């Protein structure tokens, strides 16, 4: 209930200036009124003073801040470019180091393989030499054993040959002739 009278009073007060001005032009544009001319003069003076204050004091400070900010941004961009260049250089060096390490490791692997092959060849040659020596020794042992066997067989072979020839032919063959034939056959 209290709100209704307050609302109607505020609407009535708000409408009073509108009712007073309803019959005339805009008071701001009424240059016939002597107060309007003075207001325009003071407004021009205030605007000129404000212009000089802004142009001589505020705007230089603002432009200084803007220039400082522009130079700071330019410095930051230059620092970023330098950091990017350093990073690219570091990446290039890293790639080069990786390539060199890969080549070195491949070289080390090749050297290790060659060294292992060389050791295997040396061991193979040493083993072949030992085996050749053993084979040579075995051959000489076989020859010696053969010679001993042949030497041991010669008297038996002479006796058997002499007995066989005597039985087959009925004649005795000279021992020198049997020895020559056996020497030829057994040699």
Mean pLDDT per 10-residue interval, the chain, length 187 residues: 71 64 62 77 93 89 93 95 95 94 91 92 91 90 83 78 81 80 76
User: What is the structure's pLDDT at 79?
Assistant: 95
The pair of three-digit structure tokens given for residue 178, joined into one six-digit string: 């049997």
Tell me the H-state helices in the chain. Answer: 3-21, 34-53, 59-169, 175-186
The CA-CA-CA angle for residues 169, 171, 174, to 5°, reads 120
For residues 125 and 117, the answer to whether their CB atoms sit within 8 Å is no
For residues 27 and 21, the answer to whether their CB atoms sit within 8 Å is yes
* Helix-helix angle 175-186:59-169, to 10 degrees: 160
pTM, two decimal places: 0.39
In whole angstroms, what is the distance from residue 137 CA to residue 139 CA? 5
CA–CA distance from 5 to each of 1, 8, 10, 14, 16 (Å)?
A: 8, 5, 9, 14, 17
User: What is the structure's pLDDT at 16?
Assistant: 64
User: What is the structure's pLDDT at 95?
Assistant: 95
């Amino acid at each position: 209930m209290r709100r209704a009278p307050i609302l109607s009073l505020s609407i009535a007060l708000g409408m009073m200036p509108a009712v007073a001005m309803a019959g005339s032009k805009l008071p701001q544009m009424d240059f016939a009124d002597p107060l309007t001319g003075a207001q325009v003069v003071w407004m021009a003076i205030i605007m000129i003073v404000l212009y000089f204050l802004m142009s001589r004091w505020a705007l230089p400070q603002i432009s200084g801040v803007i220039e400082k900010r522009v130079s700071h941004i330019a410095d930051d961009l230059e620092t970023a470019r330098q950091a990017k260049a350093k990073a690219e250089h570091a990446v290039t060096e890293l790639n080069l180091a990786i390539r060199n390490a890969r080549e070195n490791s491949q070289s080390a692997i090749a050297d290790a393989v060659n060294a292992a092959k060389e050791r295997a060849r040396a061991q193979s040659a040493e083993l072949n030499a030992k085996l050749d020596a053993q084979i040579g020794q075995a051959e000489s042992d076989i020859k010696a054993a053969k010679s001993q066997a042949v030497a041991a067989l010669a008297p038996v072979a002479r006796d058997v040959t002499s007995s066989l020839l005597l039985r087959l032919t009925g004649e005795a063959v000279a021992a020198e002739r049997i020895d020559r034939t056996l020497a030829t056959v057994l040699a």
